Amino acid sequence: MDIKEYNDKIKSILITKEEIDEAIKKAGKKIDKLYDGRPILLVSILKGAFVFMADLCRAVSVPCEIGFMCAKSYYNGTQSSGIVNITMDLDKDVSNYHLVIVEDIIDTGRTLNDVVKLLKARNPLSLTVVTLLDKPDRRVVEFKADISLFTIPDLFVIGYGLDCGEFYRNLPYIAEYKEK
Ligand code: IMP
Ligand code: MG
């Protein structure tokens, strides 16, 4: 792909960096209020949530540890494979932790449904799900996040951690991807 083609695929900005920053501040305060000084373990689902995680962890004031899990549901392009694979697991026993799952987007709901089931079976002290984006129109498995920053229509989006074919994760905003 050449640079012109790369840029042409960024159709329009859906959520600006400023809007994201503002929403993250609010989400950080909600988390602080919810845990009221108790320590938490923020668990980011890679790769998509790495940017959100980096900003969200700096918006909370309760003591926090961070952890990463890798779940893959999109093999390539914009089509969901329907199969969720945990390709990297947490490196600690979560039974002594208040878990806060940090996800980039809930689409069909399959990824979080599987991840939450898996983590709940390990008996954490509590479990809360925070998602940056929610595409409720595309749900296949019923799933609702405890904290959702933006609800978006059924569009394929890129930027702020979200990719198409591994590109565009570094855009500082959320944009609609031009699918032919
Ligand atoms: P779900 O399992 O269908 O809910 O999909 C969740 C995962 O699919 C997310 O963590 C993303 O990695 C990916 N995904 C879903 N929708 C989009 C999108 O619009 N752009 C980029 N990635 C997406
Ligand atoms: Mg993801």
What would the pLDDT profile of 123-138 be if each residue is shown by its tens digit? 999 999 999 999 999 9
Whether the CB of 102 sits within 6 Å of ligand 1: no
Encode 159-171: b = buried (16+ Cβ within 10 Å), e = exposed.
bbbbbbeeebbeb
The residue that leads in pLDDT, 71 or 175, is: 175
Ligand that lies nearest to the alpha carbon of residue 74, given by its number in the listed order: 1
For residue range 84-102, list pLDDT tens digits in order: 788 999 999 999 999 999 9
The answer, yes or no, to whether residue 78 has pLDDT greater than 70, is: no
| pTM score | 0.94
Ligand approaching nearest to the C-alpha of 107: 1
Q: Whose CA is nearest to atom 9 of ligand 1?
A: 105
Q: Does the beta carbon of 156 lie inside 6 Å of ligand 1?
A: yes
- Determine contact, residues 135/154, Cβ cutoff 8 Å: yes
Q: Which atom of ligand 1 is nearest to the CA of 84?
A: 2
pLDDT value for 81: 63
Distance 136 CA to ligand 1 centre (A): 12
Output the average pLDDT for the chain. 94
pLDDT for residue 75 is more than 60: no
Report the Cα–Cα distance between both ends of the chain, in Å, rounded: 14
Q: What is the pLDDT of residue 80?
A: 62
Nearest CA residue ID for atom 22, ligand 1? 162
21 contact partners, CB below 8 Å, separation of at least 6: 55
Q: Which residues are identified as catalytic?
A: 107
Ion ligand 2 residues within 5 Å by Cβ: 48, 104
Q: Please, which pLDDT band fits residue 74 given cuts at 50, 70 and 90?
A: low
pLDDT at 76 over 70: no
pLDDT at 160: 98
Tokens of 9: 């695929």
- Return the pLDDT at 106: 96
Q: Whose CA is nearest to atom 15 of ligand 1?
A: 107
71 falls in which pLDDT band (50, 70, 90)? confident
Average pLDDT (11-21) is 98
